[in-house]
Chains A and B, each alone.
Chain A
Amino acid sequence: MIYRMSAAMLSLLGLFVSAYLYLYKIGRIGSLACGAGGCETVQQSPWSRFAGMEVSLIGVAGYAGLLLVSLIALQPGPSTRRWPGNLLLLLSGLGVAFTVYLTYLELFVIHAICRWCVGSAVIIVAIFIVAWLDFRRHTQGVSHG
């Protein structure tokens, strides 16, 4: 249970980080807090969009999805089942893969590091770790359908 709770809390934090970056990108808030230029460079680069969508908006959708799955996973029925944990692991795995790609772009293509993006990367990796621990607990412990 603690792993799924952690996943939910981390997803909520990730959701706020992504929402903050998205609101900045569309000009709804002023300059980024603690922005040393890196975030602005990244946000204004052509790679701030992926498949026609703002990357930060993809982050909002992704974290919202993770939060939803985590909360479902805590409900009395699903909390004893394996599938919510499997889904959490799959989604966070996709998130980590996307983050690796974005971090590669920051380091080797854009040559700028956004601290908020690093924050999001830490969060998604942490979600993946707790999802993995939850997955292991369910596979090694009592087997529930």
Chain B
Amino acid sequence: MAATQSGVKRFYSILAAVALFGLGVLAYLLLKPDTVSIPANVTIQASDTSGFRGYVKGSPEAPVEITEFADYQCPFCQTFATLQMPTLEERLIKTGRIRWRYRDFPLEQHAFARLAAHSAACADEQGKYWDQHQRIYEGQSEWSGARNAAPIFRNYARAAGLDLDRYDTCMKAGKYAGRIQASYNEGVQLGVNSTPTLLVGDRLYRGRFDSDAIIKLVDSLAPRRQ
């Protein structure tokens, strides 16, 4: 029995060593910095903005254009994108009454807003911008509190059917950091200081919106044809 006792003691030592090693590995994985980050305040090149004025949906002939300045990590933008936009899409965009332009306005306090915007921009390269855009907003509660949102965005990209090699290359290169910064700067110049902010004509509308208010606004600007 004495030999068994010493054997058990040795076993506990080995078990404790394995436990410490395992905890160390998990701690390292939890604490290591993100491998993908999109820098702010990058120098904007001409190529970042040439021909790009935001992501657009709706008819080019629509009488009214609404530009939304939004941040993927902003809860109000999320509510707007998931609850109000489907109504606007059905009643105003698909009917040709408005054209919707989405501009990135990643706020400094939101750690993943710029990364999210960049993920959507990389999806745009493959013609899946709005798909990725919607997945990012719908999953906001999933990634917003995560330590590293990049793999979650990558999973959305996979679900959207993107070529992941191209997506990864785009993300790692930070290819659209300048475009996002340019969009942000433009918003600042226009007087945007919070999200979501809508630009209709030359007027800014800040705060929470519901689809009814926007439909009324559009009705007043471009009355429905009878």
Q: Which residues of A contact B (CB under 8 A)?
A: 1, 5, 8-9, 12-13, 15-16, 19-20, 23-24, 26-31, 37, 40-41, 44, 74
Contact = CB atoms under 8 A, between A and B. Distances in A.
Interface in B16-67: 18-19, 22, 25-26, 29-30, 32, 34-35
Nearest to B152: A27
Contacts of B19: 12
Nearest to B168: A31
A23 to B, nearest CB: 7
13 contacts: A1-B8, A5-B8, A8-B15, A19-B26, A20-B29, A23-B29, A27-B142, A27-B146, A27-B147, A27-B152, A28-B30, A30-B35, A30-B151
B217 interface: no
Interface string B136-151: 0000001100111111
A12 B148 contact: no
B151 A31 contact: yes
B159 interface: yes
A44 to B, nearest CB: 5
Contact of B8 (A23, A31, A74): A74
Contacts of A8: 11, 15
Given A29-B147, A30-B151, A5 B30 contact: no
B158 interface: yes
B18 A29 contact: no
A74 B151 CA distance: 41
A20 B26 contact: yes
Contact of B155 (A13, A16, A28, A44): A44
Contacts, number: 65
A1 B7 CA distance: 9
A12 B147 contact: no
B226 interface: no
A52 to B, nearest CB: 16
Main secondary structure of the interface of A (DSSP, over half): helix
B4 interface: yes
A67 B23 CA distance: 15
Given A23-B29, A27-B149, A28-B147, 20 more contacts: A1-B8, A9-B14, A12-B18, A16-B25, A20-B29, A24-B151, A27-B142, A27-B143, A27-B147, A27-B148, A28-B148, A30-B29, A30-B35, A37-B164, A40-B155, A41-B158, A44-B158, A44-B159, A74-B8, A74-B11
A12 B142 CA distance: 28
Contacts of A30: 29, 32, 34-35, 148, 150-151
A9 B148 contact: no
Nearest to B21: A16
A99 B37 CA distance: 37
Contacts of B7: 1
Contacts of B4: 1
Contacts of A1: 4, 7-8
A88 to B, nearest CB: 16
Given A1-B4, A28-B146, A16 B22 contact: yes
Nearest 3 A-B pairs (CB), nearest first?
A27-B146, A16-B22, A29-B29
B147 A5 contact: no
Given A12-B18, A40-B158, A23 B30 contact: yes
B91 to A, nearest CB: 32
A44 B146 CA distance: 16
Interface string B184-219: 000000000000000000000000000000000000
